[in-house]
Amino acid sequence: MKINWGTGIVIAFAVFITFILYFVFSVQSNAKYDNELVYEEYYKQDAKFGDEMKRIQNVQDLAQKPVIKNNSEGITIVFPDLFIPKNIKGKLAFYRPSNKKFDFEVPILLSDATFTVSKKKLLSGRWNINMEWQYNDKQYLTREIIYVK
C-alpha cells in the first residue's frame, strides 16, 4: 500500500494529538504534579492586597528595618535598637511553595532584639517568610525568600 503526502500529514497530526492528550492526562492524574494554590483562599487574600501594600510601605518608611538572616542555628530576625522588644507583637508565617503540608506559623515573642526559629523545624529548600508585626499600634509586613541548606 502506498501512502501519499496528504495521508502522511493526517497520520502525523493524529500521532501528535495523541501524544499531547496522553501527556495532559498523565500529568493531571499523577499526584507528583499537584496543582495547589499557594494560598488556600486566594480571592480573600487578593482582597487584602491594598492593606498589605500599606504595611509593606510602613516598613520601607523606617530608617532602620528588621533583618531576617539565615545562619547555622536557623532563621534569625534582628530588630533595630530603636524598637522596644516587649512592644513588638506579631507572627512569622513560613510557606513552603513546593508543599503546603510543611507550612507553619510562629508567634513573635521577644525578650531582646533577636528572635530565632530553629533549623530543626525547617526542611532544606526554599521558604517564603511573611513577618506580620505591629509596634505602637502601627502595622508592618516584611517578606523574604530564604533558602535553607
Give tens-digit pLDDT for 65-119: 999 998 888 899 999 888 888 889 999 999 988 888 888 999 998 888 898 998 8
C-alpha closest to that of 45 among 136, 137, 132? 132
Q: Where is pLDDT greater, at 60 or 28?
A: 60
Query: What is the rounded CA–CA span in Å between residue 31 and residue 15?
Result: 26
| 3 state DSSP class of 59 | helix
User: Averaged over 12-37, what is the pLDDT?
Assistant: 84
Which residues partner with 125 through β-bridges? 148
Fold (topology level) of 42-148? Immunoglobulin-like (2.60.40)
Q: Which helix (H) or strand (E) holds 44?
A: helix 42-47
**Confidence check: pLDDT of 46 > 90:** no
User: Where along the chain do its domains lie?
Assistant: 1-35, 42-148
**Confidence check: pLDDT of 14 > 80:** yes
Q: How many CA atoms lie within 13 A of 97 on its CB side?
A: 9
